[in-house]
Structures are given as structure tokens and as C-alpha cells.
Structure 1
Amino acid sequence: MRESVSPARRLCLALLFVPFVFLSQGQAIADVPPDKSPTIYVDCPLERIGTQLVRCDNLTGAGVDAPYWIPEQK
């Protein structure tokens, strides 16, 4: 049979992992330069060329095949 873990041992293990939780959290946008704002596509619908997804002449989708229901660019 398996022996149960004592409460003191559980507390020690829990306290061991507490610093890792607080040290791993950081700012989510720390690597974005302050002078550049994110690109927002307002007038560019998502389209496809063949099997590639395209928005404003930028390939998107990381090479994944586009679904057939996305309209093809003219």
C-alpha cells in the first residue's frame, strides 16, 4: 500500500513552487517598441490566393491551407 503524504511535506512542496509562480510573470508587451503601434486592418477583408490566406497583400495563416469558403482574391 501507498503511504499518505504528511501535511508538513505538502506545505514544504507548495512553498518550494511559490517563487516560480511570481518570477515567471512579466509584462505581456515588454518586447513591443513604444514607437510602433500594432497594425490594424480595417479595409482589408480576409481573402485567399489559391490555398493561401491573404489580407492587405500580406500572407497570413503560416502556410496552412485556406478553407474553401474564404473568397478568392480577384
Structure 2
Amino acid sequence: MTTPMRGVLNAVSGGAATPAEIARTTGLDRSEVEAILGHLSRRGRIQLETLGCGPSACTGCGLKSAPCPGKS
């Protein structure tokens, strides 16, 4: 049985980039996903980044080759 925290980590490592994508992947509520992401960030397990759509937002974005979750 996978714990919710392990499910979130697996979703992130599998390419899920937003809380909504992680929630769909794991079946968890978005609020639970956000709480887990906050915990993992505070523990240094992940680094949270804000996805934004500005004139140069995609220049350094690691998702620039994928559909932009910030635009959906």
C-alpha cells in the first residue's frame, strides 16, 4: 500500500507539475496534495516553484517542451 506522501512523490517524479495534476494522478483531494507538498518542501525533499505566464516565464521553465500547466 502506497502512503499519500509516497503517492505525491511518485506523481512529481513521474512529471506531474501542479497540485491539480498530482491530485488527478493520486486520487487525493487537492487540499491534501497542497498540504503534503508544503510538508515536503519544508523538509527539503522538493523545491516548489511558481509557474507563471509572462514575457520570459517559459525561458527557464523545465516544462517548456511540455504543455504549459500555467496556461490551462
Q: Answer yes or no: same fold by TM over 0.5.
A: no
TM-score, with length taken from structure 1:
0.22
Length-normalised TM-score, structure 2:
0.23
Structure richer in helix, relative to its length: 2
Who wins on radius of gyration, i.e. which is larger? Answer: 1
Structure that is richer in strand per residue:
1
